């Protein structure tokens, strides 16, 4: 114990009698330590310096899986989809009318902003289990009768079974008489949630100032699977945050990829996009370039 004390005294005397350069080394070390701490702190800040902050939009979210419990007044109907866009044939389902489902959920809300808003300015997002997020305005969603199907009557009696259970459950949105070539209406399966948001608030992070046509084409063809600034689907990669896709992909490669994804990635789950004209693709690219040129901060 005494030897340890003597060693400490010896060290202290050495420090007190040390040349001034030793004190300079100590001060320099402390300054470096402080500056490193400051750099680490700044590295944790969000990417991008923004002119405005994109907040989470106000929304109304409904969990459709609660309908499967049966504690509701909704009556299921037998529905025929003349042109089933997923199975490419006429199909029969047991389903709930979408309008009835919407009215049922809205009746339970204490503050119902949806009823006082213009349906053309309300965005409906159909959220699926696999990350596919299809969108339509409420006006378009109610312009034709659609149904939340939960049974394929051609092979089942009560619910999805077999391979269909993993793919289609809990619900599949179907329409009675929408031709195959009509791409305005979405057919999401594995549908589990319904989200309503003011249109401009939901899209405030991705609305363009110039290339509106390109934005509309992207919304119709791409946004279901790919997000921009964290807005959109989750099946495919994000296209703008934190890096715009045009910074690391050439336009010609993107065009070739969407026409034949498996020629780039043999395991790609993306289907070939054959209906898009080259002029429409160019408009989408102009929109993405405009979006990439904006600095924005995202929560």
One-character DSSP codes across 60-121: EEEEGGGGGG--S----EEEEETT-TTTSS-EEEEEEEHHHHHHHHHTT-SS-STTTS-GGG
CA gap 294, 299 in Å, rounded: 16
Model confidence at 29, in pLDDT bands (50, 70, 90)? Answer: low
pLDDT higher than threshold 70 for residue 19: no
- What average pLDDT does range 81-101 have in this prediction? 95
30 or 163: whose pLDDT is higher? 163
pLDDT the model gives residue 10: 52
Burial 60-71 (b: 16+ CB within 10 A, else e): bebebeebeeee
SS (H, E, C) 25-46: HHHHHHHHHHHHHHHHHHHCCC
288-297 confidence digits (pLDDT tens): 999 998 876 6
pLDDT higher than threshold 70 for residue 34: no
- What average pLDDT does range 154-166 have in this prediction? 76
pLDDT higher than threshold 50 for residue 55: no
205-299 CATH fold: Immunoglobulin-like (2.60.40)
End-to-end CA gap in the chain: 57
220-279 confidence digits (pLDDT tens): 889 888 999 988 888 889 999 999 999 999 999 999 999 999 999 988 889 899 889 999
Contact assessment for residue 256 and residue 278, using Cβ atoms and an 8 Å cutoff: no
30-34, 72-76, 128-132: which has the minimum mean pLDDT? 30-34
Q: Which tokens go with 207?
A: 């609305």
166-221 confidence digits (pLDDT tens): 899 999 999 999 999 888 899 999 999 999 999 888 888 898 999 999 999 998 88
| 199 SS3 class | helix
């Amino acid at each position: 114990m005494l030897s340890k004390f003597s060693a400490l005294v010896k060290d202290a005397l050495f420090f007190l009698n040390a040349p001034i350069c030793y004190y300079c080394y100590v001060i320099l070390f402390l300054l470096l330590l402080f500056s490193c701490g400051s750099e680490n702190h700044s590295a944790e800040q969000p990417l991008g310096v923004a002119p405005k902050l994109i907040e989470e939009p106000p929304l109304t979210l409904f969990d459709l899986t609660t309908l499967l419990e049966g504690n509701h007044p909704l009556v299921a109907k037998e529905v025929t989809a003349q042109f089933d866009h997923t199975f490419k044939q006429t199909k029969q389902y047991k389903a709930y009318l979408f309008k009835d489902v919407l009215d049922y959920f809205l009746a339970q809300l204490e503050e119902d902003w949806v009823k006082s808003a213009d349906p053309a300015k309300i965005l409906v997002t159909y959220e699926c289990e696999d990350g596919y997020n299809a969108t339509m305005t409420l006006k378009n969603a109610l312009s034709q009768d659609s149904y939340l199907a939960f049974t394929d009557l051609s092979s089942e009696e009560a619910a999805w079974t077999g391979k269909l259970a993993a793919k289609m459950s809990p619900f599949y949105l179907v329409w009675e008489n929408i031709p195959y070539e009509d791409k305005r209406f979405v057919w999401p399966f594995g549908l589990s949630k319904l989200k309503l948001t003011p249109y401009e608030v939901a899209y405030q992070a991705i609305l363009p100032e110039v290339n509106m046509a390109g934005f509309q084409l992207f919304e119709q063809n791409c946004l279901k699977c790919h997000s921009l600034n964290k807005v959109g689907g989750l099946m495919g990669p994000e296209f703008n945050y934190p890096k715009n896709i045009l910074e690391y992909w050439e336009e010609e490669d993107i065009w070739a990829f969407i026409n034949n994804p498996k020629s780039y990635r043999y395991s790609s789950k993306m289907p070939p996009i054959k209906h898009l004209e080259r002029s429409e693709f160019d408009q989408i690219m102009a929109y993405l370039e405009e979006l990439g040129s904006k600095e924005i901060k995202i929560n």
